[in-house]
Amino acid sequence: MKHNHLIIAIDGPAGSGKSSTAKALAKRIKTPYIDTGAMYRALTLKAMNERISFDNKKALVGLLKKAKIELTGKDPFSQKVWLDGKDVTHDIRLPELTKNVFYVAQEPQIRREMVKKQRQMGQKEGAVMEGRDIGTKVFPDADYKFYFEANDQIRAKRRYRELVTARHKTTLKKVLSDQKKRDSTDYNRREGPLKVAKGAIIIDTSQLTIDETVDKILALVDSRSGGRKRGKLSRVS
């Protein structure tokens, strides 16, 4: 099944299942997958490599203008993230970088420039795009908008398993603490705060597998293929 030039926006907090579901969905419907968070992570890595202070907003904005950030690969699960011609797919997921991403992501001018880039990418041939402001800022007129939510403990356990699998030393308690801090930043930042987009369908993924979540999304997409539903929030659990 292929949906040409379809824009599907998926927003939600960390650990809600956005990335895994978006990748699986994109692969199933043969549509490009765009991880907007990876773009902010790549810029954060560049700032760290060049030892630019996260308090120096002017320097951070200037860094974005000269940074070359690319996402390549047709298979969402093996997508590569490139920064100035170098594969940084692994580097941008390191815990020491993760804790600094919000300094870059909260800068209004950086978010505005990133949104422009993300729109250009999505408009080429459609996309399953996930992040925290896709349905509210990047593509408010997306064909379909979804907002994922999940129990805090479940979200933290998911993230903990990811880190342990990647052989990072941490504890569930620390992951939960970091998650609360990240949530506060995401919900309260001035530019592009995390919130439910108008017309979005809310999906509680707490007790759902990735495949079950994808199945629900596809059922909704297929049932509404004749037109888009707006205004009223829907909830799926």
* Strand pairing report for 144-149 and 7-11: parallel
What mean pLDDT is predicted for residues 97-123? Answer: 93
Measured CA to CA, the distance from residue 190 to residue 107 in angstroms comes to 8
pLDDT at 204: 97
What mean pLDDT is predicted for residues 171-193? Answer: 92
Residue 86 pLDDT > 70:
yes
Q: Which amino acid type is present at position 205? A: T
Residue 237 pLDDT > 80:
no
What would you report as the CA-atom Rg of the chain, rounded to the nearest whole angstrom?
17
Residue span of the structural domain in which 99 resides = 7-236
Residue 1 pLDDT > 70:
no
Residue 1 belongs to some domain of the structure? no
pLDDT digits (tens, 9 = 90+) for 116-128: 999 999 999 999 9
Residue 2 belongs to some domain of the structure? no
Pinpoint the alpha helices (H) of the chain.
Answer: 18-29, 36-49, 57-66, 95-98, 101-105, 108-125, 152-165, 172-188, 210-223
Residue 234 pLDDT > 80:
no
Confidence tier at 224 by pLDDT (50, 70, 90): confident
Residue 124 belongs to some domain of the structure? yes
| Angle CA 155–98–159, to nearest 5 | 20
pLDDT at 230: 39
Residue 129 belongs to some domain of the structure? yes
Tell me the pLDDT of the chain averaged across its residues. 91
pLDDT at 166: 84
pLDDT at 223: 82
pLDDT at 95: 84
pLDDT digits (tens, 9 = 90+) for 25-39: 999 999 999 999 999
What mean pLDDT is predicted for residues 65-79? Answer: 94
Question: How many structural domains comprise the chain?
Answer: 1
What mean pLDDT is predicted for residues 173-186? Answer: 93
Measured CA to CA, the distance from residue 18 to residue 48 in angstroms comes to 26
Measured CA to CA, the distance from residue 59 to residue 61 in angstroms comes to 5
Here the CATH number for the domain that contains residue 194 is 3.40.50.300
What mean pLDDT is predicted for residues 167-180? Answer: 93
pLDDT at 233: 41
Residue 5 pLDDT > 90:
no
